[in-house]
Amino acid sequence: MTDLPVHVPVMSNEVLALLAPQRGGVFLDCTVGLGGHAQAVMAAGASRLVGFDRDQEALSQAASALASWGDRVELVHADYRDVVRVLDERGVDRVDGALADLGLSSWQLDRPGRGFSFQRDEPLDMRMDPSSGPTAADLLASVEETELADVIYQFGEERRSRAVARAIANARQSGRIATTGQLASIVRRVVGRGHWQRIDPATRTFQAIRIWVNRELDGLDGFLRAVAARLRIGGRLVVLTFHSLEDRPVKHVFRELVQSGPTFTALTKKPLVAEDDERQQNPRARSAKLRAIARQE
């Protein structure tokens, strides 16, 4: 647990202002990661916190970060979409607040052997939970070309998705695409590196495959509704997103909940974004959007 990069939670001040943990009560951190936001929530006055994440390695780091709060903090190895089961197993019927930070941390991206990044040539894994489900290499070995093209276009917004999918399908005929370096090389040959590009040509395809492998957008709307239903009166749900594919369903579900009757009210009429100072100091904050609702009856 040494030599880890310092983890800076995004928009921590804004999260605390919306979540209002100084009221005390039970709070959820549905994507606890390394525990940065959870530390701030406990320090601000939360009585109890249940945090869960599907990355066991991150949970181990969070456990160390949150150890000083003892049994007031419970960490669970679970996907955020398992929120109903996690709460039912603990007899938690209502919560005072819940946070979901949907971004992938730079720590996760940078960890050797995880296969998220093309900065190193390593096994093509990409699973947030390495103990569960097929790897990216497994899926690329069997997916139909047309489905892969749809994945790359939908989740990566890569305009050359069909050509990239065709190149991957052709390459795998000569053998399994097993490493990040192999995949990045295939994509770069197809997409090229035009003068207009500010990012590596492989970026969009890697994002798309990561989202696909981890089913990052599956069930997001159901999760939001399930958590909203567990809020007690005065309870708050706060969500951080980092790209439009995440932000869109959050925006729609929150709008639906607020417009369906007097039960919920919007705490953010428009999404909040990071202040200029934070955006300069923490590149991850540049794409962040923060939305929140509260239960009022």
Strands, E, within 2-94: which ranges? 26-29, 48-53, 73-77
pLDDT digits (tens, 9 = 90+) for 34-57: 999 999 999 999 999 999 999 999
Q: How much is the pLDDT for 107?
A: 75
Q: How far apart are CA 272 and CA 292, in angstroms?
A: 9
- Percent of the chain at pLDDT above 90? 85
- Answer yes or no: is 181 within a domain: yes
The predicted model scores a pTM of: 0.90
Residue finishing a domain among 196, 214, 232: 214
108 within domain boundaries: no
User: Would you say residue 18 lies in a domain?
Assistant: yes
User: Measuring CA to CA, how many Å separate 49 from each of 18, 38, 170?
Assistant: 16, 8, 49
Question: Based on the structure, what is the number of domains in the chain?
Answer: 2
pLDDT interval class at 188 (50, 70, 90): very high
Average of per-residue pLDDT values in the chain = 93
Q: Do residues 191 and 228 both lie within one domain?
A: no
Domain's final residue, options 214, 229, 260: 214
Q: Which of 214, 242, 259 is the last residue of a domain?
A: 214
Domain CATH number, residue 151: 1.10.150.170
The verdict on residue 160 lying in a domain is yes
CATH of the domain at 39: 3.40.50.150
Q: 28 forms bridges with which residues in the sheet?
A: 50, 98
In a domain, 274, yes or no: yes
Convert the pLDDT of each residue in 52-90 to its tens digit.
999 999 999 999 999 999 999 999 999 999 999 999 999
SS3 assignment, position 150: helix
Is the pLDDT at 3 greater than 70? The verdict is: no
Residues 251 and 264 in one domain: yes
- Helix orientation angle between 161-171 and 180-191, rounded to the nearest 10 degrees: 130
In terms of residue numbers, what domain contains 148? 113-214
Residues 69 and 122 in one domain: no
- Residues 229-282 have pLDDT tens digits of 999 999 999 999 999 999 999 999 999 999 999 999 999 999 999 999 999 998
Q: Are residues 210 and 226 in the same domain?
A: no
Query: Partners of 294 in the beta sheet?
Result: 236, 265
Residues 200, 65 share a domain? no
The answer to whether 10 and 90 have CB atoms below 8 angstroms apart is no
* Residue 210 sits in the same domain as residue 117: yes
* Encoded amino acid at 207, one letter: Q
For residue 11, give every residue at least 6 positions away whose Cβ sits within 8 Å of its Cβ, in sequence order, or none. 240, 272, 274, 278, 285, 288, 290
- Shared-domain flag, residues 182 and 195: yes
pLDDT digits (tens, 9 = 90+) for 107-149: 777 788 899 989 899 999 999 998 889 999 999 999 999 999 9
Same domain, 43 and 119: no
Say whether both 62 and 185 belong to one domain.
no
